[in-house]
Structure formats: C-alpha cells, structure tokens
Amino acid sequence: MLTTTELRWFVHGIPAKEVEQWFHVDSPGKRLGLPEKREDLYLYAPECDYINIKLRQGSLEVKWRKAELGILRFGDCWEGKVEKWLKWSCHDSEQQSMMPANAAEERAWVRVKKMRSRRCYQGIVYELTQLNAGNDAWWSIAFEVATQDAQIIDHFQAAVSQVSQTYRGSTLQCDRSFAYPTWLAHLTR
C-alpha cells in the first residue's frame, strides 16, 4: 500500500504550445524517462468520487481517497484541491485474467489512451498527460508525492508554487481540479 499527496487539473482539448514548451523545456526538475504511451481501463462508478479502479499494463490498481486536504493556491496562476490517496496494486502476469471476458466492452469500463511525460522537482513528481477517451481529447497536469509524513503539505505547496512560477499556459483554477473519478463523470455526461 502506498500513501500519496496529489493535486491534478483536467482541461478539455489538447495542450497549448505554451504548455508543451513550459513542461518540456522551461519547467524545473529532472525529466523522468521518455514520454510514455499507454491505454488504461477505468471502472466508472457513478456518484463515487473517492475510489479509482483501473487496469494498467497487467496490473489492477485501486486508489481510495483518504482525505481532502483543502484548496490551496500555488503562485499567481494555480489553485487546486489537494488530496491524500491510498493506492494498492496487484500485478497480473497473464495480462487480462483479472477481468472477465468482454468486460472491457461494457459501458462501466472506460478506455483512456494516454501520452504521459514526467518530471521530478524537490522530490515531487509531476506530469503532463494527454488523454483521449472515445473521440474526446483532454490534458492534465498533476503533482504527486509518496509520503507517510503529515508535514509534507508545506513542502508540497512550496515546491508546486515554485514550479508554477515558470508556467505560461492558461490559468488552472479549482473548478478544473479533481481526480480521475470526477473526470470520468464529466466524460459520461
């Protein structure tokens, strides 16, 4: 089990050139490998924004929101909801044996194609992810730190605020800040 502190925004469409430039060239921290292309399957549970279940590259991942840590401001252009999540992961060496046959074709499961790039700054991992569900394009910026330390929130806020100072895209406000379960609800409306 892993405990994480997380912050995420979702924006409809594709990232603007300024956002791409910011993340790949101007933002601080070390790049974590090459951009990753993959497809995840999310179980959509209506009216349940505190649990996230997905099949990802042969693993079943379950995330449970342990706490909502409040709305925080990061620099002049970001405001978002910070949450604490618990994550369990179970690897399936047979790739699909955890899921019943044809389950992926049911409406409850949502296929999400992703192109994710990641960086690390002061121990905080952050990402720019392009998402496609059906024919609907979105992008997301997220920050995450694995922790058991209750004092991490001050470090988290300071590091994210420093990263925000280099950002040149559209303002990211609280109305766009939520986790995957809420984003899935937006897709199904």
Whichever domain contains 34, its CATH number is: 2.40.320.10
Q: Which domain holds residue 180?
A: 2-187
Which backbone phi and psi does 175 adopt, to 5 degrees? -65, -15
**What does pTM read for this prediction?**
0.92
Looking at the 3D structure of the chain, how many domains does it have?
1
pLDDT for res 127: 98
Tell me the C-alpha distance between 58 and 92, whole Å. Answer: 5
Per-residue pLDDT band at 4 (split at 50, 70, 90): very high
Per-residue pLDDT band at 59 (split at 50, 70, 90): confident
Express each pLDDT in 167-186 by its tens digit: 999 999 999 999 999 999 98
> Which among 46-60, 71-85, 97-111 has the top mean pLDDT?
71-85
Number of Cβ atoms within 10 Å of the Cβ of 112: 22
CB 162 within 8 A of CB 28: yes
Express each pLDDT in 67-98 by its tens digit: 999 999 999 899 999 999 999 999 876 655 66
Is 104 a residue whose pLDDT tops 80? Answer: no
135: tokens are: 């024919």
On average, the pLDDT of the chain sits at 91
Is 161 a residue whose pLDDT tops 80? Answer: yes
Of residues 135 and 79, more confidently modeled: 79
pLDDT for res 101: 62
